[in-house]
Amino acid sequence: MKAFVTGAAGFIGSNLVDRLLAGGSAVVGWDNFSTGQERFLARALTQPQFRLVRGDNLDGDALARAMAGCDTVFHLAANADVRFGTDHPRKDLEQNTVATFNVLEAMRTIGVKRIAFSSTGSVYGESTAIPTPEDAPFPVQTSLYGASKVAGEALLAAYGEGFEFECYVFRFVSILGERYTHGHVFDFYRQLLEHPDSLRVLGDGTQRKSYLYVQDCIDAILHVMNLGTARDAKHRTQVYNLGTPEYVQVSDSIRQICATLGLKPRLDYTGGDRGWTGDNPFIFLDTKKIQAAGWKPRLTIAEGIVRTLRWLEANRWVFDSRR
Ligand SMILES: NC(=O)c1ccc[n+]([C@@H]2O[C@H](COP(=O)([O-])OP(=O)(O)OC[C@H]3O[C@@H](n4cnc5c(N)ncnc54)[C@H](O)[C@@H]3O)[C@@H](O)[C@H]2O)c1
Identify whether residues 10 and 112 lie together within a single domain. Answer: yes
29: CA distance to ligand 1 center in Å? 13
Nearest alpha carbon, ligand 1 atom 9: 118
> Residue 292: which residues within 8 A CB-CB, separation 6 or more?
none
Identify whether residues 236 and 317 lie together within a single domain. Answer: no
Q: What is the pLDDT of residue 77?
A: 98
Judge whether 291 lies within some domain.
no
- Counting the structural domains of the chain, the total is 2
Q: What is the pLDDT of residue 317?
A: 94
**Ligand 1 neighbour 118 (Cβ under 6 A):** yes
Identify whether residues 144 and 127 lie together within a single domain. Answer: yes
**Ligand 1 neighbour 283 (Cβ under 6 A):** no
Identify whether residues 62 and 201 lie together within a single domain. Answer: no
Positions marked catalytic: 145
Judge whether 195 lies within some domain.
yes
Identify whether residues 71 and 163 lie together within a single domain. Answer: yes
CATH number of the domain within which 265 lies: 3.90.25.10
**Ligand 1 neighbour 152 (Cβ under 6 A):** no
Side-chain-side CA neighbours of 16 within 13 Å: the count stands at: 30
Judge whether 292 lies within some domain.
no
Taking the C-alpha atoms of residue 105 and residue 119, their distance in angstroms, rounded to an integer, is 18
258: domain range? 176-210+245-284+299-321
Mean pLDDT, consecutive 10-residue segments, the chain of 323 residues? Answer: 98 98 98 97 98 98 98 97 91 98 98 98 95 94 96 98 97 97 93 94 94 98 96 93 96 94 94 86 96 97 96 94 74
Q: What is the pLDDT of residue 323?
A: 67
**Cβ atoms 223, 287 nearer than 8 A:** no
Judge whether 289 lies within some domain.
no
Peptide bond into 131 cis (omega under 30): yes
CATH number of the domain within which 61 lies: 3.40.50.720
